[in-house]
Structure 1
Amino acid sequence: MVCIPCIVIPVLLWVYKRFIEPIIYPFIAPFINKFWTKKAVQEPGLDNAKKAETSNGTSTPQSNGDATANGPATIADKKTD
């Protein structure tokens, strides 16, 4: 048996996101943007090569020709178990 809040809360959130938020968001968006203007925090000391590296270990080609014709120039060390 499922408790009442476990059913009611998701339904109310769905109703809010689906019907109520599109109506009130244009009115509250200017106030939200005033408080939420900060950029995401970045780790200090990262160079451009580390910033371009993606989560799967490949890197995106840089404008100065860091990548070869056959693939990325840097290959991340992968954990082998």
Structure 2
Amino acid sequence: MVCIPCIVIPVLLWVYKRFLEPILYPFISPIISKFWTKKAVQESGTSDQKVSEKINGTCKGESIGEATANGPTTVADKKTD
């Protein structure tokens, strides 16, 4: 048996998101934007990488065949048909 709040709360949230938020959001958004004016901080590199470079004093380049976030830097020998 499911408790009443476990049924009522999701239904009320669905009704709010589906019907009430599109009507209320234009009126509420100026008030909310005054409270949340800070933007997210974005870093270009990872902090672990920067710390290790500072400790070692060298900047290590990528080696041939090393995998990166975008995929391997070199393509392995593939058999072509």
TM-score (norm 1): 0.53
Q: How large is the Cα RMSD of the aligned pairs?
A: 3.0
Mind listing any 5+ residue stretches in structure 1 that lack a counterpart? 52-56, 61-69, 73-81
Q: How far 1:40 sits from its partner (Å)?
A: 2.4
Q: How far 1:71 sits from its partner (Å)?
A: 2.2
What is the aligned-residue identity percentage? 70
Q: How far 1:39 sits from its partner (Å)?
A: 1.9
AA of the residue aligned to 1:27: F
AA of the residue aligned to 1:37: T
Residues 2-81 of structure 1 aligned to structure 2 (within 5 Å): 2-41=2-41, 48-50=44-46, 58-59=68-69, 71=73
Superposition misfits of 4+ residues, deviation over 4 angstroms: none
Q: More strand per residue: 1 or 2?
A: 2
Q: Which has the higher contact order (CA 8 A, sep 6+)?
A: 1
TM-score (norm 2): 0.53
**CA–CA distance in structure 2, aligned partners of residues 13 and 4 of structure 1:** 14
Mind listing any 5+ residue stretches in structure 2 that lack a counterpart? 48-66, 75-81
AA of the residue aligned to 2:13: L
**CA–CA distance in structure 2, aligned partners of residues 21 and 50 of structure 1:** 37
Q: Which has the larger radius of gyration?
A: 2
